[in-house]
Structure 1
Amino acid sequence: MSNRRIFAGQALRTLRQRRGLRQAQMASALGISAPYLSQLETDERHLTPSLADALRAAFPIDWADLAPAEADTLAESLREALADPQLPGTMPAEQVERLARQFPAFAESFVALHGLFAKGRQRLEMLDEAIGSDLGGSEIAGGRLPWEEVRDWFHLANNYVDRIDRDAETLAHQIAGDEASPRIRTMQQWLRREGVTIEWASGVALRRFDAQRRHLQLDSAQPNESSRFQLAYQVAALALSDQIAEIVASAPLQTEAARHLLTVGLGNYAAGALLMPYERFRSAARQLRHDIDRLRQLFHVSFEQCCHRLSTLQRPQARGIPVFFARVDMAGNITKRHSATRLQFGRFGGACPLWIVHEAVAIPDRIHVQLAEMPDGIRYVSIAKGLVKPSGSYYRQPRRYAVVLGCEAALADEFVYADGLNLTNEDAVTRIGISCRICPRDTCDQRAFPPSDKAIAVDPSQRDLVPYRIVEG
């Protein structure tokens, strides 16, 4: 077991300068004296486990980027396992380190058991999702439809594709120069230099590209943000075609349809990365405290495009705040989803009716804010907005859906939408779950059905908001 001391002077100085803090201010946030912090910054003193915990708590995003490599991976793994919100109480960092050092076999067994527990919990959630979907038979049998394969590929990639993201960022700087984001005019100029002719027409597909003729046709009736995105898609599809093809070829997909869908998905990803270049967008998001409307005006994108891009900011040593993002249609189906937080939601709809996204679908064009708590005790600040996409014709219904974005309440200072919430008021918390089938809450009056792992008791002589009582044990 290693006892190597960790010195973090450069990381501490960088963090303090990044946040614009004086030594006294940062020392106060960490609960230490300014002279002690000064000694840490000059590497006269080493970083203790308790101080590392204080840094994680006070500056979770910045410290994740800047922290030096852990001296003891077993102690770090044990700390993460013990931090599971479903485990009672907390253990001081020094005790965790001592436990890992003195009883390494026990620590390794505990970490392994926690890993098995987490996998078992995930399997239960996936099984519940499959049972609750019309596609349950194929999912339980182990088969997946092509779009499910691609959705899971992005999920396992943590919704971040480093090679595509970095190359799209470089391309954006070449096209946009000093501007925050490439304009329609500059993207059209780039395409024309590549020998592509462009036609804007009404009543056609949103985008159609004839590779042989090098001819791009775009629907002139679509909103400006959609036009920019379709142009960005075509630019990225041409400029990054080799990178996209190599990633698709190496992906463990079962069908040709899935490979085509992944090609499209990576093209969409590249288009978002081109319009919202990583470091420019990440810096602006931090500076504006993730105010979506101000971000979308700066980068000339739609509300949904901006929310989706925030969910992809997972570059190592330069991560954004961990957020979850989803899109929900009028029927409650989750048609897009990703979570970089501990919150996971159903893949086939059936989400908790108390989740604010359902209200947003019914009341569009305003931002709804919610402080919610999951059964594991973790609280989240969520925003949801209902969106309406015009169809261009009286005889075609407009598309109506809502997008939801959120972060853990512990990061509320980074999220402008938390400013109007009373985070300490227990009555202001909405207690939601993933799905009624696995939700343990026995006092919820909006259950669609009881949990699948518990018995119920029905008393014909009594009726409450739900016609049964959940039996514990």
Structure 2
Amino acid sequence: MPNPRLYAGDQLRALRRAAGINQRAMAARLGLSVSYLSQLEGGERPLTAAVTAALARHYPQALAAIEGEGPARRFAALAEALADPALPPLGAEATQRLAEERPDIADRLVALHAAKRGAEDRLALAEETLTAGGATRLPWEAVRDWFHEAGNYVDPLDRAAEALGEAAPDESSLVVALRDHGLGIRIDPNADAPLARIDGVVLVLNGALPAESRRFQIAHRLAARAFAAPIAAVIDGSGLASEEARRLLGVGLANYAGGAIAMPYERFRREARAVRHDIDRLSRRFGVSFEQACHRLSTLQRPGAAGVPFFFCRIDMAGNITKRHSATRLQFARFGGTCPLWVVHEAAAIPDRILVQHAETPDGVRYVSMAKGLVKPSGRFARLPRRYAVALGCEAIHAADFVYADAVDRAGAATPIGISCRLCPRPDCDQRAFPPADRAIAVEPETRRIVPYRVV
């Protein structure tokens, strides 16, 4: 390490001349006065910790030649690590003493700093990959993220909807309540008409809607009218900038409240526990669709009366996530497809059949999930039906409260799944579509594998 009596005038002068600069420019670069640099070059003064630190920043290879490779490299690396703005400043003298007197501690600090920088670089790369073209979120994404960050639970709306739902437990009472808020109902026999629309003081519903969808549309419009003030208050406090996002949030909040009207919180939570979250049974008891019941289960996060923490998502046939929320440690990719090993993809191809999976994420957490493919008929041959799948799951520690867990062997091996290929660190997955965004790959033409590269 730097010796307080180390004189290096000849080396400093040679370094300056090799750089093609005069003493004034060299002194400015090192933060010294011209006279002091002249004294250093003339051998009149030894190197100090401050000078050595400046050399370490600007000329590390020259410093290594002056002092010796090992000590100089340690000092330069330690000075860089301790210059991190996240750390309180440490003077050059103290840095020099630490490197000289406790090289073991110095090396550990350097290693920790390298690990921190590596993690930051991987995070930045992953974020760049995910945003793929800019950090600005589209209105739909912004609203979806708002619900996720809110825990998919909006307390004032949920409580108000619960009270209204208990007072209007069936479709006929919902129609009366809607009429009290200024809207009558008319059925449009045209199958090509919108699902629902407002025509003056009438809610016009598509005649092809199944009973559970018709009831939900009524509850949605009732919520929008009855809870206009609390919905507006939530929107005002949302922080969403664009008018499109704010309008979408308003629709989403009315949908949320509509579901809470059809499935009042405490009664729905109690029934769900009683049937161990059997979706078919809940759907029949509350007159809602399979998807609506799944979605409602993911919102049962009332403080002091929370339900089982579930994750819920809906994907289309291309694997795009069109709805998502997780009250568990499982997180969904904001962009791109999900893990191809997840059972929800198989369910999308096999409608009206429930598939169950015991899976493990890279962090070692195990989950039990249920997935079902659904088809919404279009009403005529010329228009393709909508096909998608929904998935609902919980961590394996809650398996006793999840009837679908009875169909898997939780003591056996779990399917290894990840968030998405670009974010999954597993090095040995044969289903990988892309290499992980934060890892390097090795391409070895002499060795043929299922995936044409090796994650390193």
1 CA distance for matches of 2:127 and 2:416? 20
Return 5+ residue gaps in structure 2 as ranges: 1-111
Give the aligned partner of residue 205 of structure 1. 194
> SS at the partner of 2:134?
helix
Give the aligned partner of residue 411 of structure 2. 424
Residue type of the alignment partner of 1:468: Y
> Contact 1:129/1:348 (CA < 8 Å) preserved in 2?
no
Give the aligned partner of residue 184 of structure 1. 171
* 1:304-348 deviations in Å (ceiling 9; x for gaps): 000000000000000001100000001110010000000001122
Instruction: After TM superposition, give the deviation of residue 205 of structure 1 in Å.
Output: 1.1
RMSD over equivalenced CA pairs, Å: 2.0
1:437 matched to 2:414? The reply is no
Residue type of the alignment partner of 1:460: P
Worse-superposed segment, 401-410 or 435-444: 435-444
* 1:405-438 deviations in Å (ceiling 9; x for gaps): 0000011001000112111112xx1001112222
Q: Percent identity?
A: 60
User: Residues 85-124 of structure 1: matches in 2 within 5 Å?
Assistant: none
1:163 matched to 2:156? The reply is yes
Distance 1:171 1:325, change over 3 A: same
> SS at the partner of 1:137?
coil
Give the aligned partner of residue 432 of structure 2. 447
> SS at the partner of 2:133?
helix
* 1:230-278 deviations in Å (ceiling 9; x for gaps): 0111111111111111111222011111110010000000000000000
Give the aligned partner of residue 18 of structure 1. none
1 CA distance for matches of 2:182 and 2:394? 44
Instruction: After TM superposition, give the deviation of residue 127 of structure 1 in Å.
Output: 6.1
* 1:66-112 deviations in Å (ceiling 9; x for gaps): xxxxxxxxxxxxxxxxxxxxxxxxxxxxxxxxxxxxxxxxxxxxxxx
Pick the aligned partner of 1:350 from 323, 337, 345. 337
Residue type of the alignment partner of 1:431: P
> Contact 1:129/1:347 (CA < 8 Å) preserved in 2?
no
Give the aligned partner of residue 261 of structure 2. 274
Instruction: After TM superposition, give the deviation of residue 461 of structure 1 in Å.
Output: 2.5
Give the aligned partner of residue 224 of structure 2. 237
Give the aligned partner of residue 309 of structure 2. 322
> SS at the partner of 1:243?
helix
User: Residues 216-365 of structure 1: matches in 2 within 5 Å?
Assistant: 216-365=203-352
Largest Rg, 1 or 2 = 2
2 CA distance for matches of 1:456 and 1:333? 26
Instruction: After TM superposition, give the deviation of residue 144 of structure 1 in Å.
Output: 1.3
> Contact 1:125/1:438 (CA < 8 Å) preserved in 2?
no
Return 5+ residue gaps in structure 1 as ranges: 1-112, 177-182
> Contact 2:358/2:369 (CA < 8 Å) preserved in 1?
yes
Instruction: After TM superposition, give the deviation of residue 463 of structure 1 in Å.
Output: 1.0
Residue type of the alignment partner of 1:463: R
> Contact 1:373/1:379 (CA < 8 Å) preserved in 2?
yes
Runs of 4+ aligned residues of structure 1 deviating over 3 Å after TM superposition are 123-130
1 CA distance for matches of 2:394 and 2:240? 31
Instruction: After TM superposition, give the deviation of residue 215 of structure 1 in Å.
Output: 1.3
> Contact 2:125/2:437 (CA < 8 Å) preserved in 1?
no
Instruction: After TM superposition, give the deviation of residue 453 of structure 1 in Å.
Output: 2.5
Instruction: After TM superposition, give the deviation of residue 174 of structure 1 in Å.
Output: 1.7
Taking structure 1 as the reference length, what is the TM-score of the superposition? 0.69
Q: Aligned residues, how many?
A: 339
> Contact 1:129/1:346 (CA < 8 Å) preserved in 2?
no
Worse-superposed segment, 455-464 or 365-374: 455-464
Instruction: After TM superposition, give the deviation of residue 131 of structure 1 in Å.
Output: 2.1
Give the aligned partner of residue 128 of structure 1. 126
> Contact 2:153/2:302 (CA < 8 Å) preserved in 1?
yes
Give the aligned partner of residue 456 of structure 1. 441
Distance 1:173 1:329, change over 3 A: same
2 CA distance for matches of 1:129 and 1:187? 46
> Contact 2:362/2:418 (CA < 8 Å) preserved in 1?
yes
Residue type of the alignment partner of 1:278: Y
Worse-superposed segment, 437-446 or 152-161: 437-446
> SS at the partner of 2:162?
helix
Residue type of the alignment partner of 1:207: A
Residue type of the alignment partner of 1:447: R
Residue type of the alignment partner of 1:208: R
Distance 1:229 1:127, change over 3 A: farther
Distance 1:308 1:329, change over 3 A: same
Residue type of the alignment partner of 2:436: P
Residue type of the alignment partner of 1:239: A
2 CA distance for matches of 1:127 and 1:314? 33
